[in-house]
Each structure stands twice: as C-alpha cells, then as structure tokens.
Amino acid sequence: MKTRLDAPVGIDALAVAIPHRYLDLEDLARARDIDPAKYTQGLGAREMAVAEPGEDTVSLAASAARRALHIAQLDPRDLGLLIVGTETGVDHSKPVASFVHGLLGLPRAMRVYDTQHACYGGTAGLMTAVEWIASGAAGGRSALVICADIARYGVATAGEPTQGAGAVAMIVSSSPSILELDVGVTGASSTHVHDFWRPLGHREAQVDGHYSVECYLDAVATAYRGWRARAIARELIRADSPASEQLAALCYHVPFCKMARKAHLHVRRCDLEDAAAPWDPSTESLRAETHFRNQVEPSLHLCARIGNVYTGSLYLGLAGLLHTRGDLARRRIGLFSYGSGCTSEFFSGLIGPRASDRIAAAQLDSLLASRARISIDEYHRLMALTAPLLEPPPPGTFRFTGVDAHRRQYVAA
C-alpha cells in the first residue's frame, strides 16, 4: 500500500507575468561607461525587465495567477490554499495574496497569506503547499503558489545590471503534469549573515555583493550534500557515481546567469571531493564545462532576458528549462533555492509526462516578443517614478491605477 509520501504531488501548471518594458544591458553598460562584455559575458545577462508604476507586485502576481488557473482549467472552488512568496510587497500588513484573492474572485473558504525570506519566500510557499497536500490535509484540493517581486538596487550601483521584475504562478496538486516533487528528500542550509537586506522604508535593496556570492556558494554546498544523503537513503540515486551526473538537469536560483554556473561548478566540486575514488583535476574542468552546457545552461535563457525576479528566479529557470528541452519527461532534475540572509534548500523531482505541453501553453515566446525596448532616459524616468502610467493594460493583465483614500486600485484587461 502506498504511503502519502509516495503519492504524487507537485506542480501541475505554471505561468509567468513580466513587465512590458525592458532595457538592453549593452545600452546600460554604455551609459555607465562600462565594457558591455562585463554584463553580457561577466554576468551572463542580456536584458532586464523594468516595471512601470502600474506594474507592482500585486498586478504581476494576479496576472500570472490568472494565466496559471486558465492553463490548468481549474475550478477556483477546488483551491484551498493561496500563498504568495514575495520580499517586495505593497503593505507591511495586508499581504499581496489578499489582493490577488480579491482580484481573482477566489473562494472564501481557503487559507490566504504571504511567505517571506528574501528569494526563498516562493520555495517556502511551494514546500508548504506540497506538504499540505502530501499530509492529506488538503482533502483533494489544490494550492495556488505565486512568486512575485520587483528587484531594485538603484541607479549606478554594482547591483544595477542584476535588477528585474516578474511573477511565476504555480498550481500545486496531486496530478503534477510539470514536476512531481520527491517529498521529504531535501537538504536545507541556513545561517545568519548580512549579505543582502532592505531596511524598512527603502525601495532599493542593499547588498554586500561579493560576500553574497560566497554565502550562496557556502549554502549550496551544505544543502546539496543534505539532499544527496537523503536521495541515496531513499534509493533515488546511487552512491557509486557523482549525484549531480545522475540528474538530467539542474535549476538554480539565478540572481544573474553566471551565478548558476558558479553554483554548478561548486556542486560538482562537492561530488568530486566527497568521492571515494580519486579524481583528476586536469580533465575535470572540460567535463564540468560540458556538463554545465548540457544540464544547466538550457534553464538560463529566460533569466538572461528578464533579470533577477527574486522569489520567482528558480521557477523562471524551470520554465526556461522545459521550454528549451523536450526530452525530460519522467527524468529527475535538481533544484536549488537561495534566499539571502540566509536560508536555502536543494530538492528534486521527476518531470511530468505533459510538462512540454503545459509550458507551451504559458506562451513564453510571445510574452518576450510583446515587450518594448526602452531607452536609458526612459529607464531613468521609470526608476525615478516620473514615467506616466501605461494605459490601457495589455489583455489578460492587471494594472495598479492609484490609491483611493487608503485602498489600492487595480484594473483588469
């Protein structure tokens, strides 16, 4: 007889919402008198999404959620849980989830709240939803988990080329067409560090950039080793060959694409250092490069064109992977979620048989193609909040229109 931990649970549908304007990073580099190759090759970034005043975290979250519900063809009455993972909400008390609940007209009889821990907030929501369903408490209902953020560091800062904005909405259910999670097989790593923070009242994040990269790498090593031990104990992978090579692909939290490369080389290093058999460092660098190109790079093309979307970055990577590779059905992949401060988790799952169809329904190519490239002057106006609201909203999206007394107002198209 199956235990609940063996019953399938995971992501059944996924949809993305992004701002309608983007800045080409070569334009940004030239404006900052920096060699464009530093951004395109050094950071691996091509473009970054720039939110306008009408595109706040709520409007992005609601737009993505509406698409995800449509793709899953889910009757909202079958939802029992709505969680928004975000670190850039619109109010200190009223959660983004509450606005989304109202805008989408979701049922009253459900739990609705936000989860926060920097970029890990979305994964906190996903894990809660997965374990809620696996425990049997969901009673057959599904969950809507949304990761939504606007990443801002400020004009002419080192973090500037790593900004972005967007939302990823996921339907989590017991019929996971996209990704069936290995429930209970995860590795976590948390330490109290000051790598990235945003003091109350600030729109822009502060970051100790190079230190944050070190914190991320330290976390991925511990989380990966924790996951690997559990995956071997549950016989999901073998102990006699590098675990990372037994995964068909790996998705990482992507603050900028080069970070995923650094993380992957670090994970391989963990495997090789821990291996019983000696390894030859002279051949490893070529093997690692090939492995990165096949197992990780396919997940990065959306991130390279949108930038850091904080909580949604890992899931934008998953969407990018499935959009690029159609050969992953029923194969196991690894995922690493990192939230500065810090907490992190490495987990895994089996790609569902209908994952490619589900991702095709998310129409990622047309989302990117419908964006408008902005000039550096327009970017400065948007950062200074002096650009006009874009009217009317593009079809299928929500837009913030202003505050009426104390109530934030939104329109839907």
**20 near ligand HMG, rule: CB under 6 A:** no
| Distance between CA atoms of residues 37 and 318, nearest Å | 26
Question: Minimum distance from CB of 205 to ligand HMG (Å)?
Answer: 7
**252 near ligand HMG, rule: CB under 6 A:** no
| Distance between CA atoms of residues 132 and 236, nearest Å | 23
Per CB under 6 A, which of residues 328..357 are in contact with ligand HMG?
338-340
58 close to 410: Cβ distance less than 8 angstroms = yes
| Distance between CA atoms of residues 58 and 169, nearest Å | 12
Asked if 47 is an active-site residue, the reply is: no
Q: For residue 183, give both structure tokens.
A: 């429930």
Question: Minimum distance from CB of 86 to ligand HMG (Å)?
Answer: 10
**Residue 224 CA: distances (Å) to CA of 66, 213, 305:** 34, 16, 27
Active-site pick, 253, 264, 301, 323 = 253
Q: Which is nearer to ligand HMG, 207 or 351 (CB)?
A: 207
* Helix and strand element counts for the chain (H, E): 13, 16
**Proportion of the chain in helix, strand, coil states, percent, rounded to 5:** 40, 25, 35
Q: Which is nearer to ligand HMG, 379 or 410 (CB)?
A: 379
Per CB under 6 A, which of residues 101..140 are in contact with ligand HMG?
118-119
Q: Which residue is nearest to ligand HMG (CB)?
A: 42
Q: Which is nearer to ligand HMG, 41 or 294 (CB)?
A: 41
Cβ neighbors of 324 (< 8 A, separation 6 or more) are: 298, 299, 301
Burial class of residue 131, CB neighbours in 10 A (0-12, 13-18, 19+): middle
Q: Tell me how many degrees the CA angle 229-231-236 measures, rounded to the nearest 5.
A: 145
314 close to 302: Cβ distance less than 8 angstroms = no
Per CB under 6 A, which of residues 262..321 are in contact with ligand HMG?
308, 310
Q: Which is nearer to ligand HMG, 292 or 310 (CB)?
A: 310
**210 near ligand HMG, rule: CB under 6 A:** yes
Q: Which is nearer to ligand HMG, 95 or 159 (CB)?
A: 159
69 to 108: interface string for ligand HMG, x by CB under 6 A: ------------------x---------------------
Asked if 253 is an active-site residue, the reply is: yes
| Distance between CA atoms of residues 80 and 85, nearest Å | 17
Asked if 87 is an active-site residue, the reply is: yes
Active-site pick, 47, 52, 55, 87 = 87
Cβ neighbors of 344 (< 8 A, separation 6 or more) are: 120, 188, 189, 190, 216, 219, 220, 223, 253, 336, 337, 338
Q: Which is nearer to ligand HMG, 137 or 158 (CB)?
A: 158
According to CB under 6 A, which one of 4, 6, 30, 37 is a site residue for ligand HMG? 37
Known catalytic residues are: 87, 119, 253
Interface ranges with ligand HMG (CB under 6 A): 35, 37-38, 41-43, 87, 118-119, 158-159, 162, 195-196, 207, 209-210, 212-213, 216, 253, 255-256, 258-259, 308, 310, 338-340
